[in-house]
Amino acid sequence: MLKKFQISILGSSAATPTSLRHTTAQVLHFHNKLFLLDCAEGTQMQIRRFKLPIMKFDHIFISHLHGDHYLGLPGLLFSYHLLGRDKDIHIYSPPGLKEIIEVQFRISGLKPVFNIIYHELKKAREIIYEDRYLTVETMEMEHRLPTFGFFFREKLLEKNIKKESIVQYDIPVEKIPEIKKGEDFVTPDGKVIPNSRITISPSRPRSYAFCGDTAYTEKFLDQIKGADLLYHEATFLNDKAAIAREKSHSTTVEAATLAKKAGVKKLLLGHYSARYKEMAEFTKEAREVFPNTIIAEEGDIVKVGENASPA
């Protein structure tokens, strides 16, 4: 049974919100855990609006310290304080966020009733989070401020031995660890039972690459190779490539080109300039380069590892 691994889009506007779109925030729902990826203004309202359990976030990843990626964090933390949160919260971001948060708690005369653990990100290709099922690795974006991407990689689990095989071949308990590692089983009378007949292979590990604000770059191409889902910003359509470069952002075609070179299974676009009202052209342009492209809209849920091509 495949455990949950999906993204909820809370905001997909670049730089400034519009009457229809919030700025960047995503929720990663992995097994029974919720992670927050960027936390723009209004994120706590969006979490409530989409009926996500606001108290379940323990790890918040902030790509960089432009307002449209972190301004919702002070409000979320103040709300945690008022709601009496007592669990630690971990915040991963480039240096500076601690100062921004602490000055506000100080001036408002509040001392958070929970621990805030700041993890300052300084370099790429570092594993910054790990649990039994998942690792999170930093990637280096190309932007005007130090900016990180986050690569969420499911761990390869051990094989499971079929219960009926244990009974059928009378497999002793001490043999189980090596069979789980892939060894065949040899019966007391010397008969070899192939590993594949007595085990169930774990599902293929899935992966999600979150590449927030960045100009086109291949600096992290090797890290995202073969990812199930690549979120890559596409602030502009292709005709604005010069503006994109000037502002250290990307176009549809650039995001799609990177997806193609990396051989990812699906591309998710977001971070659209407020000048665009209608998104059809984003899909169209990107799909000419990389057909399996979808665009992020508020409230969308995208499952990681379900890669049917678009109709």
Q: Which is nearer to a copy of itself, 94 or 291 (CB)?
A: 94
CB of 68 to a copy of itself, least distance (A): 8
Q: Which entry of 38, 68, 213, 228 is annotated as an active-site residue? A: 68
Q: Which is nearer to a copy of itself, 93 or 138 (CB)?
A: 93
Longest dimension (CA), the chain: 77
Active site residue 38: no
Q: Which is nearer to a copy of itself, 68 or 137 (CB)?
A: 68
Using the structure block, give the residue that is written with the tokens 């051989």: 263
Using the structure block, give the residue that is written with the tokens 């199930």: 228
Q: Which is nearer to a copy of itself, 17 or 291 (CB)?
A: 17
Q: Which is nearer to a copy of itself, 39 or 253 (CB)?
A: 39
Q: For residue 249, which of 260, 238, 259 has the smallest C-alpha distance?
A: 238
CB of 43 to a copy of itself, least distance (A): 9
Q: What residues line the site for a copy of itself (CB under 8 A)?
A: 15-19, 22, 41-42, 44-45, 48-49, 51, 65-68, 71-72, 74-75, 78-79, 82-83, 96-97, 99-100, 103-104, 107-109, 144-145
CB of 144 to a copy of itself, least distance (A): 7
To the nearest 10°, report the CA torsion of 26, 151, 14, 52.
Answer: 0
Q: Which is nearer to a copy of itself, 111 or 191 (CB)?
A: 111
CB of 82 to a copy of itself, least distance (A): 5
Catalytic residues: 68
